[in-house]
Chains A and B, each alone.
Chain A
Amino acid sequence: MTAVIQPPAGVRPAPAVDLMELYRRMRLLRCLDEALADLVEQGLVRGPMHLGIGQEAAGIGATAALEDGDLVTATHRPHAQYVGLGLPLGRTLAEMMGRADGQCGGRGGHMLIADRAHGLLGPSGIVGHSLLLAVGHGLAQRRAGLGRVTLCVTGDGAVNSGAFNEALNMVALWRLPVVVLVENNRYGLSVRLDRHVHQTALHRRAGGYGIPAVQVDGNDVEAVREAVQGAVGRARSAGGPTLVEAVTYRNCPFSGSDRGGYQDPAEAEGLTDPLRLAAERLLARGRRPEELAEADGRAAREIAQAVAFAEASPWPEAADLVALAARWDGEGGR
């Protein structure tokens, strides 16, 4: 999975991302989610809210394997893609708060933030959608012939959707440039992996569709990046789809309304937090603790600024919606 494959001409390679940068992104994501937990508590962000505390390495590692011009589809838990793809976080938080400066003008909310310029098209709150969208993107990319790739992020719960079966067959059948990243956090909402799927080694499923697959430690950001890089390289060189299963754990409530009680506290004990793992590795490679503290401080400041931007953003005007309804309803609608 380590083969280095040159991207076709026209694909602008992303700047090389070292572990320090991956750590910085994971810290930014952690700070974002921690800030969001507070904003939800204060009532400044309303509606469902799915944080990814404990799962940062999977999403951050995967997006770091992409090049400019690639596309990403994501789930109801999309913050790792927001940060990993470099979305402007002030606007992103404004969207989550329902403000006018949000990427979608407040219409989408936290799980429907698309950002075409950053390659995010897009997350969806319906389990399974990311897989189907990826088939479409893959077809368009193959047709365009520019060597672009789609990273499709999905969850362990989503592998039981009909969409998973339909999408995997299509990407395999048409050899589409799609990388399916299954973020296996061992729960689909409250239902433990072994209670919702019989074959719990999810990457084994890929064999049934005739696609290569790999399982990685989803808390090891470098391992994820390397696995996805290999898969992306294959997709880019017309080698077809790959499934990457990143095994991780959600160390936070499922959503704002989670009553808890279904996770066994012992489960989390042996786990290494992805940020701690990366920090220890950085120190072992000669980075100084002050450098990490400096990165942590910078992330916290960046998020504080983004929150301040979002809070200052105006509310959207509803007049647009009224005009839209008039056009769609014809005369005499509401």
Chain B
Amino acid sequence: MTRLTYAQALNDALRGEMLRDERIVLLGEDIGVYGGVFSVTSGLLEQFGPDRVLDTPISENGIVGAAVGMAMSGLRPVVEIMYTDFLCLALDSIANGAAVFPFAYGGQVSMPLVIRTQGGAGANAGPQHSKSLEAWTAHLPGVHTVLPSNPADAKGLLTSALRSSEPVVLVEHKLLYGTEGEVPEGEHLVPLERAQVVRPGRDATVIALSRMVGEALVAAEQLAEQQLDVEVIDVRSLRPLDVATLAASARRTGRVVVAGEAWVRYGPTAEIAAAVTEAAFAELRAPVVRVGSLGVPYPASPALEPTVLPDADTLRRAVEDLVKSAR
């Protein structure tokens, strides 16, 4: 084990896999000379050269579209899209390209494509640099969408993505890059389809995504003082969704809160709540509660953003209310 930040853990995964597999090529805006706006690709141009680390023009659909072609031609492209908000410009290449060709071409091509992007609010970055849009790619059959919440998972999920023959969208969080944690040295793989119980508990389950996992752990500590024993599960993979792990916990506690930063309506928490309800309806003691961002664009003002964005307090109150209302 070694202590790394989330950004360093991602860098470690890229470096390790690039040494192992020459087909891996990185593309993205400001990832070469500058080493990435969040320093994730730092040092890789120097180590692997300009054929394997490409600084691209500001052409999101162009680079993801090109990466789809690269993947069909036998390379393993890894695209960095600086903000999830800019992934909107490349959705065509994902939804109509990466998700379609391996299926439609009757198995003649595989799609070993990794898209790393970064979302989330809390940095006062305003409505065009703060969104959580993971539901959009998670909606696509044939595309994996994973969200690491800590440095070890960042390394493990990215490494697995780099070995997958199917497209993977890895959604990082801007506020997590600087967070530190223990990370296994050398090869470390985390499966692309497994949730993880990060805190066992008996009274209620909080199913959380990305940065909300940390907030849920804080809330769980506060609730422990009220003699409420809360289980926290890190979803990690939005698609495929590990319903078995989520439902098993729901059956045990009977009370479930699903927490993600994205907007509640049509967001990832909606799908998770539906899946858990379908699988564990008989054992639920109350309807599944969802916690997400208030349904408005993210305002820039530090006075307004906290109203929109859920945090440990929002989660704690949601669990308290749930416990009161449950049968």
Q: Could you tell me which A residues sit within 8 Å of B by CB distance?
A: 46-48, 98-99, 102, 105-112, 124-128, 157-158, 160-162, 188-192, 195-197, 257, 259, 261-262, 315-316, 318, 321-322, 324-325, 328-329, 333-334
Task: Please name 6 pairs of A and B residues whose Cβ atoms are closer than 8 Å in the assembled complex, sorted by A.
Answer: A106-B304, A110-B300, A126-B128, A259-B34, A333-B295, A334-B292
Task: Say yes or no for B61: interface residue by CB 8 A criterion.
Answer: yes
Task: Say yes or no for B202: interface residue by CB 8 A criterion.
Answer: no
Q: Are B34 and A190 in contact (CB under 8 A)?
A: yes
Besides A107-B304, A128-B58, 15 other A-B contacts (C-beta < 8 A) = A46-B124, A47-B124, A47-B129, A48-B125, A98-B304, A108-B126, A109-B124, A161-B58, A162-B89, A190-B34, A315-B301, A315-B303, A334-B264, A334-B291, A334-B294
* Chain B residues with CB below 8 A from A48, complex form: 125-126, 129
- B62 contacts which of A157, A162, A259 (Cβ < 8 Å)? A162
- B300 contacts which of A109, A188, A329 (Cβ < 8 Å)? A109
Q: Are B303 and A98 in contact (CB under 8 A)?
A: yes
Q: Are A191 and B55 in contact (CB under 8 A)?
A: yes
Q: A79 to chain B: closest CB distance in Å?
A: 15
Task: Say yes or no for B74: interface residue by CB 8 A criterion.
Answer: no
Q: Could you tell me which B residues sit within 8 Å of A by CB distance?
A: 29-30, 32-35, 37, 39, 55-59, 61-62, 85-86, 89, 123-129, 263-265, 290-297, 299-304, 307-308, 310
Total CB contacts across the A-B interface at under 8 A: 145
Q: Complex formed: what's the CA distance from A162 to B62 in Å? A: 8
Q: Are A107 and B85 in contact (CB under 8 A)?
A: no
Q: Complex formed: what's the CA distance from A261 to B310 in Å? A: 37
Q: Are B33 and A262 in contact (CB under 8 A)?
A: yes
Q: Complex formed: what's the CA distance from A334 to B290 in Å? A: 8
Q: A20 to chain B: closest CB distance in Å?
A: 35
* Chain B residues with CB below 8 A from A124, complex form: 128
Q: Complex formed: what's the CA distance from A261 to B296 in Å? A: 38
Q: Are B34 and A321 in contact (CB under 8 A)?
A: no
Contact (A329, B264) CB under 8 Å given A109-B301, A188-B58: yes
Closest chain B residue to A155 by CB distance?
B58
Q: Complex formed: what's the CA distance from A160 to B66 in Å? A: 14
Q: Are B57 and A160 in contact (CB under 8 A)?
A: yes
Contact (A112, B57) CB under 8 Å given A98-B301, A262-B33: no
Q: Are B294 and A322 in contact (CB under 8 A)?
A: yes
Q: Complex formed: what's the CA distance from A318 to B127 in Å? A: 15
Q: A103 to chain B: closest CB distance in Å?
A: 12
Contact (A47, B125) CB under 8 Å given A126-B85, A160-B57: yes
- Residue of B33, B59, B293 most packed against chain A (CB within 10 A): B59
Q: A106 to chain B: closest CB distance in Å?
A: 3
Closest chain A residue to B292 by CB distance?
A334
Q: Are A160 and B58 in contact (CB under 8 A)?
A: yes
* Chain B residues with CB below 8 A from A110, complex form: 300
Contact (A328, B296) CB under 8 Å given A48-B129, A112-B126, A321-B308: yes
* Chain B residues with CB below 8 A from A188, complex form: 29, 57-58
Q: Complex formed: what's the CA distance from A46 to B129 in Å? A: 13
Closest chain A residue to B269 by CB distance?
A334
Q: Are B37 and A334 in contact (CB under 8 A)?
A: no
Closest chain B residue to A108 by CB distance?
B300
Q: Complex formed: what's the CA distance from A109 to B300 in Å? A: 5
Contact (A191, B303) CB under 8 Å given A126-B128, A160-B57: no
Q: Are A161 and B59 in contact (CB under 8 A)?
A: yes
Q: Are A47 and B307 in contact (CB under 8 A)?
A: no
* Chain B residues with CB below 8 A from A105, complex form: 301
Going nearest first, the 5 A-B pairs with the smallest beta carbon separation are A109-B300, A98-B301, A106-B301, A160-B57, A190-B34
Q: Complex formed: what's the CA distance from A108 to B301 in Å? A: 8
Contact (A190, B33) CB under 8 Å given A47-B300, A125-B128: yes
- B126 contacts which of A47, A160, A334 (Cβ < 8 Å)? A47
Q: Are A162 and B126 in contact (CB under 8 A)?
A: no
Q: A128 to chain B: closest CB distance in Å?
A: 8
Q: Complex formed: what's the CA distance from A244 to B264 in Å? A: 45
Q: Are A47 and B57 in contact (CB under 8 A)?
A: no
Q: Complex formed: what's the CA distance from A191 to B58 in Å? A: 10
- A111 contacts which of B32, B126, B291 (Cβ < 8 Å)? B126
* Chain B residues with CB below 8 A from A318, complex form: 303-304, 307
* Chain A residues with CB below 8 A from B263, complex form: 334
Q: Complex formed: what's the CA distance from A47 to B305 in Å? A: 11
Q: B127 to chain A: closest CB distance in Å?
A: 7
Q: Complex formed: what's the CA distance from A2 to B295 in Å? A: 51
